[in-house]
Amino acid sequence: MIRLVDVATVIRSKNAGPYELTLDVIFKDSTWFRRARDGAWINEELIARLYGVPRSDVFAVIAFEPANAIKATIRRPRVSAAIGETDVYGAQQHAPLLSLEFDDVEQG
């Protein structure tokens, strides 16, 4: 098994406006990025499951090759700074990504 924390240099979350949250995974190099992208390690279904949101609340999962990065954007469960919201900046929402493991099967 491959642990995401072992092949990524950055795993973070942040606001993408008051209604959306962005999750970023930046891989150590282009080889790991391509394996993750081609193997669909991070996809809409995974993000929906990890964050307990409907698939329709996962707006995008985008691979950005120049940065060796995969970005996912989801609807925030509560508007940033709303009553009861606990992470105004969205900076503590990446935790579910930290325990991800993937099968060690290299793509084509």
- The verdict on residue 59 lying in a domain is yes
Q: Within 10 Å of residue 23's Cβ, how many Cβ atoms?
A: 25
Sign of CA dihedral 20, 84, 12, 4: negative
- The verdict on residue 107 lying in a domain is no
CATH number at residue 37: 3.30.70
- The verdict on residue 33 lying in a domain is yes
pLDDT at 20 over 60: yes
Chain segment 58-101, per-residue pLDDT in tens: 999 999 999 999 999 999 988 998 999 889 999 999 999 999 99
Range of the domain at 79: 2-102
> What local confidence, expressed as pLDDT, does residue 106 receive?
60
- The verdict on residue 108 lying in a domain is no
> What local confidence, expressed as pLDDT, does residue 108 receive?
46
AA letter at 34: R
Asked if 62 and 42 touch (Cβ cutoff 8 Å), the reply is no
pTM: 0.90
- The verdict on residue 32 lying in a domain is yes
- Residue 30: both structure tokens together: 């282009």
Total count of domains within the chain = 1
